[in-house]
Amino acid sequence: CEGSQSASRRPPMRHGLRSLAIAAGAIAGASGGLVSRPHAFSASAPAAISRRASSVHASVAISKPPLPEVVERAPATHPAFELVRVEMVDEYTIKVATYRHRQSGAEVISAQADDENKVFGIAFRTPVEDSTGVPHILEHSVLCGSAKYTSKEPFTELLKGSLQTFLNAFTYPDRTCYPVASCNTKDFYNLVNVYLDAVLSPRAKRDPTVFAQEGWHYELDAAEEPLTYKGVVFNEMKGVYSSPDQLHYRALKKALFRGHPIYAIDSGGDPRSIPTLTYDAFADFHRRYYHPSNAKIYVYGDEAELPTAERLALLESWLAEFGSSRGGGDEQIPWQPAEPEPYEVSEPYPVDAAAAAAPTQFVTLGWLFPPSPLEPSKKLAWGVLNDLLLGKPSAALQQPLLASKLGSAVVGGGYGASLQQAAFSVGLKGVAPGDEAKGRVSALILETLDSIAESGFEQSAVEASMNTIEFRLRAASASPMKGLSFMMGALSEWVYGRDPIEPLRFEEALASLKEDVARRGGAVFVELLRESVLENRHRCTLSLVPEPQLGGWLQAAEEQELSAVRERLSAGELKALEEETRALRAAQAARDDPADLAKLPTLSTSDLTASTKSIPIEVDEVAVAGGGRATLLTHELPTDGLVYLNVGFDLARLPIDDVPYVPLLCRMMSELGTDTLDETAFSRTVSAQTGSLGVSTMTSAKPRPGGAAGSPDEAVAMLMLSGRAVADKAPQLFDLAADMLASTQLDNAERAVAMLKQSLARAEAAVVSSGNSYASAALAARFSLCGSVDEMLGGVSQLHTLRGALEQAQSDWPALLARLERMRSALLSADGAVVNLSADEQSLATTAAHVPRLLGRLPSAAAPSNGGWAWSAGGVLVPSHEGLQVPTQVSYVAKALPIFQPGERICGSTSVVSRYLRTAYLWNTVRVQGGAYGCNLAFSRLDGRATFSSYRDPNLAATLEAYDGTGAYLRSNPLGPSELSKAIIGAVGELDAPQSVDARGVTSMVRHLLGVTEEERQIWRDEVLATTAADFVAFADRIDEVAARGSVAVVASESAIAEANVALPEAARLQAKAVL
């Protein structure tokens, strides 16, 4: 959505049901559940075609239209493949054929779907033996050139010049996946060919420099300087190990699977262990596991554009050279035996010794389920039970934990089934140190679960959770990436030798569960709770305890280790290491041979569509009481019987000083009870009658007409209610929306305190793990009103607001309540409201008829004007250099400046150039050579601001130097026709990224609010397609302004900031400020 590229939408601050697997594939458990049926890949198994009967939920009714012709076609056969079985998955109208490659043993799923977004994936079972991170490093490395595609980084070349809708790779504790997707058939085949050569014959298994770059290496610039470790994965995992939440997840897995040969270690890599990995062990891991006999291959798409015969022929062309199994690919993931008695584990985590807040601990109880697969109905039941226990703040387990005041936020994730065995974990973070506090948390969890088992679940709670899970399952088909989600769900069973199709089904298990619930009510879930948790002796109590000295100890240990290595090296060896460092850098900096680049399959600009894709919109006005008017936007879209609702109110009705409190108001409106229903009853009603309902914010810079850069003191900022429901529940959706907006009882000091503690804990964790966002937000606040508002809502200053609001809620609740009530009164007026509706043709008219009733529930008088929001442009004129200090082993480095003046027209070519820079120059200098895990150049066409940023970066001053060299790079590296074509294609791919139907409705609404017309969008696209090499050189002058006058914000450790200040010029030195 070009018109809303810089718009941001924030959800209310709420605890969500955490899933350990990608959602839609987690069909029968709502969080990646397991199934019991073994799959049918057998040499003697005949091909079978089956179509299972489906049941229909009374409240979420669905119809079964005739099968699309592209789905109904019979799958093709191929002599190289054995067709094992064919069956329909009626839930998502896809036909699935499973094959085995006769010669190599590779297993293949071919899915036929009426979907333009085609998906391919290949996955390997990759069990690890230590925490050196070998599968993670290999996942990075195989994408750095291959036998057929010999350029250094085919992955980045694909990023530059593909219409891909997904291009990535994932390392799990026991498997590694390589998925790609594209709506363009030619592009899709290009992606598949490059990925297959990458995984089967990577350059990395022959060239140690790839391992050095992506994994780890010694770096030495001069014999007298210190020896250091560098490597992309090494630095990435240093960032992971700086995050208490990430450490908690890893410690919990290790504790539950203590002694397990795979799950008790870290497949991602422990920074302390990564430097012990040798190149020979790395290459051997590929030989053992990256063989077709160990591969699971998935192809999904429209049979007309992607015929099964072509799919199989393509795969045969890559698999034909491989024989049957070899190496370690036949290894199975062992089950973890049940522990006979509960046990305790304690692990440290680093905290800042100088932090203002007292250090706290995490306390979590985890149960590992018995060593056998769960039946489909049982894993679905666990999805419902998890929602009953933790799905919302009023849930049976979450509510008493939050109300206990023993901690700041619930952790643990609840039910998870992404590994061989399912588990259930729950706890609190922000707990006072010591065994006494740990014991109180443990006792509270156990006593609450016992009480739930004794008293059971109320019928209204069961109905609400059943509806929530069913809606989630059925709504999965609305995702534009459903093919990818289906793949990830299938793999959750496939890698363990079980039926990969079972996770895509839910009707049979749902019907069985409904029948059981109809007979026995909530007792179904009480029985499951007793069986899997309360009577399960495999229970671990994990305490993650703060250690202020840990960060220093780890750094000192690394320096001592490197010093010892250095002492062992002779002068000649040190000289050789210097030369190796220079050689690696030279290889990284060298440009690819044009002949190597020419081997990569590419599209041409003639493959692109010249016209923009519009979203249908009708704009009407609705008269409201008192003579005012509201705006009604409607979008006729293929929503499959669902209705999507948004209601927006102008945040500028508030004084600017109230804006930082809007996130708290959003959350209270989303979660608390109303005048007629308490919090629990209202929450259950919302869950039973809708798919979701909540209040958040939407903000965006606003461009001037004709595609000109907007004024820095203009912005669109709205309080936004969003909800969805099946069409026959539209009346209830609108009534509940009105209740949430106008009738929420805000006078609940206890819940406000709990919300503030939880939000503060999340924000403090996020500034360590997502420092790039906070650094960029700090800069945006200097340059525009929109940036300033965004920073108030979700930047470092929001941390200060949360702390102050928490203190006031505890000491002077009436004053804070009065402020919140005043804010709600100022915001909620039917006059000026925007109502946005998306539905199919059959539902749209009847749904729109409910709008006047909704508006009639709101105050109608226009709120008094507060005179507008004042904003100073001083930040643009005077550069700042800010160091935001947090406990972390990596840095997040940002630099920004508006490079277009207000009213100056911005050409579409800017999106081509800025995207090219982040996939070419920045990728090579900041990531490949610098070792950062990520880097970016964000350019806003709305206000003309350019923002450089890095993610999990081992450098600081060197990264700023790289940013400042961008203009020189553009001038000294003119683009040839091939590179220019790729840059244009990649930019068009971003313009045409697929969206879900509800996202399309919101996108159209945002364009309307910003005044972006279809004509302007077409002009922008035309300019993108017409981009020339001269546009790249012209952009260099613009981007040089960031080097000369840009402001800098860095999230980093105290030592990293101090070290950078030694290297930086005096005028550019960072002003350090503690954040936590």
Terminal Cα-to-Cα distance of the chain (whole angstroms): 36
Residue of 748, 585, 584 lying closest to 665 (CA atoms): 748
**Contact between residue 668 and residue 676 where contact means Cβ atoms under 8 Å apart:** no
The 3-state secondary structure of 321-343 reads CCCCCCCCCCCCCCCCCCCCCCE
Give the angle subtended at the CA of 348 by the CAs of 347 and 352, to the nearest 5°: 160
Residue 359, both tokens: 């250090």
Helix axes 749-769, 796-811, angle to 10 degrees: 160
CA 904 vs. chain centroid, Å, equals 35
How distant is the alpha carbon of residue 485 from its chain centre? 13
Cα–Cα distance measured from residue 1076 to residue 1073, given in angstroms and rounded to the nearest whole number = 9
Residues 6+ apart with CB under 8 A from 481: 117, 165, 166, 181, 994
Contacts by 430-433, CB closer than 8 A, 24 or more apart: 430/360, 430/757, 430/761, 431/360, 431/361, 431/362, 431/363, 431/406, 431/407, 432/360, 432/361, 432/406, 433/359, 433/360, 433/361, 433/545, 433/546
Q: Which of 87, 91, 107, 139 is catalytic?
A: 139
Closest CA to 191 of 515, 601, 549: 601
Helix or strand run (H / E) with residue 518: helix 507-520
CB contact at 8 A, 511 and 53: no
Q: What's the rounded Cα separation, in Å, for the pair 950 and 772?
A: 6
- At position 973, the amino acid (one-letter code) is N
Adjacent-strand bridge partners of 883: 1050, 1072
Contact 665, 824 (CB under 8 A): yes
Whether 153 is a known active-site residue: answer: no
CA dist 654 and 866 (Å) reads 7
How far, CA to CA in Å, does 571 sit from each of 224, 226, 563, 576, 583? 11, 14, 14, 9, 18
Burial 838-874, CB ≥16 within 10 A → b, else e: bbbeebbeebbebbbebbebbbeeebeeeeebebebe
Told to judge if 714 belongs to the known catalytic residues of this protein, a careful annotator would answer no
C-alpha 392 chain-centroid distance:
20
938 membership: H or E segment, kind and range: strand 934-939
Helix or strand run (H / E) with residue 542: strand 539-547
Catalytic residue among 2, 91, 214, 507: 214
Q: Of 243, 258, 525, 562, nearest to 377 (Cα)? A: 525
Q: Are strands 361-368 and 423-431 parallel, antiparallel or unpaired?
A: antiparallel
Q: How distant is the alpha carbon of residue 913 from its chain centre?
A: 26
Neighbouring CB atoms inside 10 A of 704's CB total 18
Catalytic site positions:
139, 214
